[in-house]
Structure 1
Amino acid sequence: MAITVVGSVAFDTVETPSGRKERCLAGAATYFSLAASFFTDVRVIAVVGEDFGASEQAVFDAREIDTTGIQHAPGKTFFWQGSYLENLNEARTLQTDLNVFAGFEPKIPDAYRDSQFLFLANIDPVLQRRVREATPHAKLVAGDTMNYWIKDHKPALLEVLKGLDILLINDTETRMLAGNSNLVLAARAVMEMGPRMLVVKHGEYGATLFHKAIPGAPDSRTFKTPAFPLEQVTDPTGAGDSFGGGFFGYLASQRELTPGVFRRAMFYGSVMGSFTVERFGTERLQQLTREEIDHRFNLFRELTHLD
């Protein structure tokens, strides 16, 4: 089933201990859509400027991602510059230019309205809510957010949470949103705000799925997956968005959403995140094959199998 994702398409300049890369194709919707496209059809709603050209469009076309919903506006595309020289687990923002993204008003093409899976990537919760209200027939709705929206726009964010089935955020954001330092209690508090499932991302330490009772598994409400061990991390940017694309893309590819499907989706999310960090920007996702994904998934299963 097709996924519609609304979010940012951007250019990033990134510096890490592995080097520096100028103006990588990036953005939450870009990472998400590339990762999800290995599992199902993806449709993107975003805005770009005049500096988004044929070479950038070709990246989406190569994965057969529907970009009808990408608006082209006068001006420059959203730009972010960051450094991981001090800490690979946390970027230091050096420059943020919203450019055309500052006036972004998501428009849903008619051809997208039959999408049964909707992902609200990290953007203004006011915009997330508008898209959610305009897609009342979505079968499964997931979303992402960040500390800025939690801290300064919480009332608007709380309205968005009421319309989500799944929220994907990191452990710091979970504690901030709930106002509780205990992650388990914080997760329960967040789910009381609306989502029936919460995926907490722990960076290099994996991710945890918290959920309310699922038919067939009423006593199993937490599932933890580690991160895939890597010898080299080149650029952590986009790992969380790629996790989301792998996780949600796999869900959309399945006929039935059973507890086992959600667990496998967690592993596929980790797999997609692990590939992303191997190169700068979206370079690794552009070169990836489904055979490589399934091979790493099987290695992951062997790594975590107890018996």
Structure 2
Amino acid sequence: MKNILAVGSLAFDTLSTPAGRAEKVLGGSANHFSISASFFNPVQIVGVVGEDFPKEHLEYLRSRGVDTDGVAIVPGKTFHWTGEYGKDLNEAITLSTQLNVFEHFDPKLPEAYVNAEYLFLGNIAPELQMSVLGQVKKPKLIALDSMNFWITGRKDALMEVLPKIDLLIINEGECKLLANERNAIVAAEKVMEMGPKALVMKRGEYGSTLFFQNEIFSAPAVPVRKVVDPTGAGDTFAGGLMGYLAANNAGLD
């Protein structure tokens, strides 16, 4: 099996949903992705946390086969996001974002990570994603996630990264925003022209759609009777996707 390298945020989440409330639980794109991918394949993780990050969280990641040597523990507090969901679990309302040590995150890959064959660039600034690309050797597959904040605030930097990746994983709203297009299919076609070889459009309860080589393939979501907390669902989906591809030594061919 091939190692997967994941670069992104490690955080605390404080959440309120119709099912209840949770204080400072394990969150962040790199955490959600890595735990999911670890069901299929070993994962190496790069991120930063503060001195308040419990050792138990790192031990849990290691118990899942996640290599945490790339996690920097620095003075200060860990990134902390607070949000809530109403009856519509498709949309989170952000109440507080405390970047803390993540504000100065500068990903540096350990030497043992630079030969990773599968790379996931989590939802971080495009400039940091580009920095990571400059440190890896020659991954077989590079996947990238982004969000509205980077699309609207750092679009020029994001446009420089897109031609250098293989797979873009974003949701339908982000795809439309990136393409400045109201129709999802037309938006996907325009995004493909920006450089990625393939696009997976996440569509929540409706599943996901793959755009690749003028082909379109849609997969439904698995029906779930009870949804407690959708936080990190997109990163978890990406982890399962990348984990399966790596476990089967698969690329885009």
Q: TM-score, normalised by structure 1?
A: 0.80
What is the rounded CA distance, in whole Å, between the counterparts of 1:99 and 1:73 in structure 2? 11
| Cα shift at 1:138 | 1.0
- For residues 220-270 of structure 1, the C-alpha deviation after alignment (integer angstroms, 9 at most, x for no partner) is x111111111110000001100000000110011134477xxxxxxxxxxx
- For residues 23-67 of structure 1, the C-alpha deviation after alignment (integer angstroms, 9 at most, x for no partner) is 110100000000001111100000000111221112101102000
2:125 is aligned with 1:124:
yes
Residue of structure 2 equivalent to 1:231: 225
**C-alpha contact (below 8 Å) 2:141/2:251 kept by paired residues:** no
Q: How does 1:99-114 map to 2 (within 5 A)?
A: 99-114=100-115
Give 2:220's aligned amino acid.
P
2:154 is aligned with 1:162:
no
2:71 is aligned with 1:70:
yes
What is the rounded CA distance, in whole Å, between the counterparts of 1:51 and 1:258 in structure 2? 40
Greater per-residue helix proportion = 1
**C-alpha contact (below 8 Å) 2:140/2:251 kept by paired residues:** no
Residue of structure 2 equivalent to 1:179: 180
Segments of 5+ residues of structure 2 without an aligned counterpart are: none
Structure 1 pair 102–257 and aligned structure 2 pair: CA distance change class (3 A): closer
Residue of structure 2 equivalent to 1:222: 216
- For residues 125-144 of structure 1, the C-alpha deviation after alignment (integer angstroms, 9 at most, x for no partner) is 10001101221411110000
Give 1:43's aligned amino acid.
Q
Supply the RMSD in Å over aligned alpha carbons. 1.1
Residue of structure 1 equivalent to 2:207: 206
Segments of 5+ residues of structure 1 without an aligned counterpart are: 214-220, 260-307
Q: Of 241, 253, 260, which aligns to 2:235?
A: 241
Q: Which is bigger in relative contact order (C-alpha 8 A, separation at least 6)?
A: 2
Give 1:124's aligned amino acid.
A
Greater per-residue strand proportion = 2
- Structure 1 stretches of 4+ with a deviation exceeding 6 A read none
- For residues 7-36 of structure 1, the C-alpha deviation after alignment (integer angstroms, 9 at most, x for no partner) is 000000000000001111010000000000
SS at match of 1:232: coil
Q: TM-score, normalised by structure 2?
A: 0.97
2:249 is aligned with 1:255:
yes
Structure 1 pair 128–234 and aligned structure 2 pair: CA distance change class (3 A): same
Q: Percent identity?
A: 50
What is the rounded CA distance, in whole Å, between the counterparts of 1:234 and 1:52 in structure 2? 24
What is the rounded CA distance, in whole Å, between the counterparts of 1:31 and 1:118 in structure 2? 15
